[in-house]
Structure 1
Amino acid sequence: MKKLIFILAFLTTIVSAQDVADSLLKQGWNPSGVVGVNLSQIAFKDWTQGGTNALAYTLFSNFGVIYFDNPWKWRTYLKAAYGRTKLEDQGYRTTDNELYFESIVTRKIGWAVDPYFALTIRSAITKGFDYKSDPAVQIVDLFDPGYFTEALGFQYAHGELFSSRLGVAIQQTIADKFAASYTDDPETAELEKFKFDTGIESVSEVKYNFYDNMTYLSFLRLFSRFNSLDVWDVRWDNTIAAKVNNYITVNFNVVLVHEISQSRRTQFKEALNIGIVYSLF
C-alpha cells in the first residue's frame, strides 16, 4: 500500500508548463458553471445474435466561483453526479451518486507556498444499493454517511496547471441508518453515529490541456489519522475530456478509492461517456 501511495503521488506531481498567474483573474467574483448529461442507449428487435435493451444516463453539474482580492483568494467548488442504468430484465440501477463540495481560502505571503484553510464535504446524493444481493440492499443515503473535513496548512500552486496542499486536518463522519458500517466503534456496546478523526491531509490537482480540444484532469487526496499513520485513505480521480464542439464532449473517467472504513478492498470505477454539456457562465 505504501508503494501504491508513493507511485500515485509521484505520477500526479510530475508536470511542466508555463505559469498562469492570478493576474488573469479579475478582481472580485469569477464564476463558472457547467451542467450536462451523459447518455448511452442500445435496443434490439428480432436480433438473432442476442442482446438486451439498455439505457444509461448520468446527470452532472460542476459549479465554481473564485473571489480574488490580492493577496486573498477564495475558491469554492461544487460537483454533483447522479446516474442510472436500465437493463430490460433488471430495471433501473443507480450507477453514479456523488456530492462533493470544497471551499479554500489562501493568502499570498511572498513565499513559494501560501497558507490556506479548506473545508470539504462529501456525501451520496440519494439512496445507493449493493446489487450483488438479491434483492438489492441499501447501503448509503444523503449524508448517511457524510464526511466533513477541515484542514489548515500550506499550498503550492503553479497557475491553473497544478496545485498541491498539505495540512493538519480534522474529519467528522456522520451516519444514521448505516452507522454500523461507517461510524460505529466495534469495541463499545453503544452504536456511535458520529466519528471524529485528526490527521494529515494532502490534496493534489492537475489540469493539463494537451491538445486544443483535450484536457486531462487529476485529483489525488490522501488522508491519514495520527493514531494510525501507516494507514492512508486514498481517492484518485482521473478524467480525459475531449471537446467535439460547444455542446458535445467525450469523457473517459477512472476513479480509484482505498478507504478501509468503507471496504478492505481497493475500489475501482471506469466510465466512457458521450455527453451533452451546457456552460452557464
Structure 2
Amino acid sequence: MMRPLFILCALLLSVPSVFAQTVTEPDTVWRRSFAAGINLNQSAFSDNWKAGGISSIAFNTNLDARADYKRDKVSWDNAVQLQYGLIKNKDEEGRKSIDRIYLDTKYGYAFSSDWNTFVSANFLSQFTKGYEYDVDEDGTDRLISNFLSPGFLTFALGAEYKPNPYFSLRLSPFAPRFTFLADESVGENERYGVPEGKQVRTEWLAAMVQASYTRDIMANLNFKANYLSYINYKELEGKKIDHMLNATLAAKVNRYINVNLMANFVYDYDQDAAVQYNQSLGLGILYTLQGFSAR
C-alpha cells in the first residue's frame, strides 16, 4: 500500500516541475519551497542516579514541500507534509511520537483579485501501525491504527479567498469524503465511523472549511498553521463537526540548525469524544530551498 502513496507524492511535486519546463511565457510564475529536517534528543542516567530519570533516545523527521503555479487567472497549488518520529526508553521497545501524511492539490480560477473558484483533493493518513500500550495487566498492546486505517480522501468544490501570499481561506459547500479502514485488525478495536463489515465510509453531502497561514513573524522565526473543519449535512450537531489544526513554529539558528515546535490537534467524534493532540519540541538540522528552478 505504500507504493501508491509515494507515487502520489512524486506526482504532486514532479508533475508541476515538468510542466514548468514547457511554459516559458513571462506571465507564468512558479513559487516553490522545500524543507526537510531531523531532530534528535538523547539522555542517559547511571543506575544509581538519585534524582531519578530514565535513559532514552528520540528523533523525529519532517518534510514540507510546495509547488504553486499561477498564470493569469489560473492557479495550481500543491503541498506535501510528512512527519514521523520515534522514542526509545530504556528497557522498552521503540514507540512512535508522531506520524502524519498530508497531501493536497488545488486547481483554481480567479474571478476577482482576491477570490478564486476551485476544485481540490487532499489525503490524510499515517505511515505505520499505532498502538494503545499496556492495555491489560500483562502489558498487552492493542492495535488502533495503521496506514489507510484510517485514511481520509476528500474532494472539494467551492470558493477561495486569498488576499495575499501568506493567507488563504477555502469555503466548500460540496466536499465528499471517503474514510478507509484497510487493515481488518484495526477494525476489531476502532472503526473511525466506518460501518461494521465495510472498509470504506462515503460521505457525499458535506461541507468543508480550510484556512492556512504561513509567514515570517520576525527575522529567522517562521509560523505556519493549517486548519480544517468538516461538516456532514446529515449530522448537523456541534459535537459531530470535525476540527483539525496543525501548527509549526520554527526558529532558525543558522543556515542548517533550527529549533522547532510542532503541534497537531484533532477533534473527530467518530474517533473520540475528547480533543486529541500531540506536540514535539526539538533542536536539529533543517535543509531548505526557496524558489528553486524546475530544471
Under a length normalisation based on structure 1, what TM-score does the superposition of the two structures give? Answer: 0.84
In structure 2, the partner of 1:12 is none
How far apart, CA to CA, are the structure 1 residues paired with 2:96 and 2:113? 46
Structure 1 residues not aligned, in runs of 5+:
1-24
Q: 2:224 aligns with which of 199, 213, 217?
A: 217
In the TM superposition, what is the alpha-carbon distance from 1:112 to its structure 2 partner? 3.8
Root-mean-square deviation (Å): 1.9
Aligned-residue sequence identity (percent) comes to 25
In the TM superposition, what is the alpha-carbon distance from 1:91 to its structure 2 partner? 2.2
In structure 1, the partner of 2:122 is 120
Query: Contact 2:110 / 2:117 at 8 angstroms: preserved in 1?
Result: yes
In the TM superposition, what is the alpha-carbon distance from 1:121 to its structure 2 partner? 0.3
Q: Secondary structure at the match of 1:91?
A: coil
Q: Which amino acid aligns with 2:249?
A: I
Query: Contact 2:257 / 2:283 at 8 angstroms: preserved in 1?
Result: yes
Query: Does the C-alpha gap of structure 1 residues 84 and 274 become closer, same or farther in structure 2, counting only changes over 3 Å?
Result: same
In structure 2, the partner of 1:194 is 200
| 1:250 matches 2:256 | no
In structure 2, the partner of 1:55 is 57
Query: Does the C-alpha gap of structure 1 residues 137 and 208 become closer, same or farther in structure 2, counting only changes over 3 Å?
Result: same
Q: Secondary structure at the match of 1:51?
A: coil
How far apart, CA to CA, are the structure 2 residues paired with 1:196 and 1:263? 19
In the TM superposition, what is the alpha-carbon distance from 1:160 to its structure 2 partner? 2.2
Q: 2:179 aligns with which of 166, 173, 182?
A: 173
In structure 2, the partner of 1:13 is none
Query: Does the C-alpha gap of structure 1 residues 26 and 215 become closer, same or farther in structure 2, counting only changes over 3 Å?
Result: farther
Q: Secondary structure at the match of 1:222?
A: strand
How far apart, CA to CA, are the structure 2 residues paired with 1:149 and 1:73? 20
Q: Which amino acid aligns with 1:128?
A: G
How far apart, CA to CA, are the structure 2 residues paired with 1:102 and 1:201? 14
In structure 2, the partner of 1:88 is 90
Q: Which amino acid aligns with 1:210?
A: I
Structure 2 residues not aligned, in runs of 5+:
1-25
In structure 1, the partner of 2:164 is 159
Query: Does the C-alpha gap of structure 1 residues 26 and 66 become closer, same or farther in structure 2, counting only changes over 3 Å?
Result: farther
In the TM superposition, what is the alpha-carbon distance from 1:185 to its structure 2 partner? 2.5
In the TM superposition, what is the alpha-carbon distance from 1:62 to its structure 2 partner? 1.3
How far apart, CA to CA, are the structure 2 residues paired with 1:179 and 1:196? 17
In structure 2, the partner of 1:4 is none
Q: Secondary structure at the match of 1:227?
A: helix
Q: 1:278 aligns with which of 287, 290, 295?
A: 287
| 1:182 matches 2:192 | yes
Structure 1 stretches (4+) deviating beyond 6 angstroms?
A: none
1:43-100 alpha-carbon deviations (Å, 9 max, x no partner) = 1235332221111101221122112222111011111111100000222101111110
How far apart, CA to CA, are the structure 2 residues paired with 1:132 and 1:74? 46
1:191-231 alpha-carbon deviations (Å, 9 max, x no partner) = 11110113110001112322111122111100010101222
In structure 1, the partner of 2:70 is 68
Query: Does the C-alpha gap of structure 1 residues 119 and 68 become closer, same or farther in structure 2, counting only changes over 3 Å?
Result: same
Query: Does the C-alpha gap of structure 1 residues 26 and 127 become closer, same or farther in structure 2, counting only changes over 3 Å?
Result: farther
In structure 1, the partner of 2:249 is 240
Query: Contact 1:33 / 1:62 at 8 angstroms: preserved in 2?
Result: yes
| 1:44 matches 2:51 | no
Q: Which amino acid aligns with 1:142?
A: F
Q: Which amino acid aligns with 1:48?
A: K
Query: Contact 1:183 / 1:193 at 8 angstroms: preserved in 2?
Result: no
In the TM superposition, what is the alpha-carbon distance from 1:111 to its structure 2 partner? 5.6
Q: Which amino acid aligns with 2:99?
A: N
In the TM superposition, what is the alpha-carbon distance from 1:164 to its structure 2 partner? 0.4
In the TM superposition, what is the alpha-carbon distance from 1:183 to its structure 2 partner? 4.4
In structure 2, the partner of 1:137 is 142
Q: Which amino acid aligns with 1:223?
A: Y
How far apart, CA to CA, are the structure 1 residues paired with 2:142 and 2:116? 46
In the TM superposition, what is the alpha-carbon distance from 1:154 to its structure 2 partner? 0.3
1:112-136 alpha-carbon deviations (Å, 9 max, x no partner) = 4210111000111111111252222
1:152-207 alpha-carbon deviations (Å, 9 max, x no partner) = 00000122221101012000011121345124336xxxx11110113110001112
Q: Which amino acid aligns with 1:144?
A: S
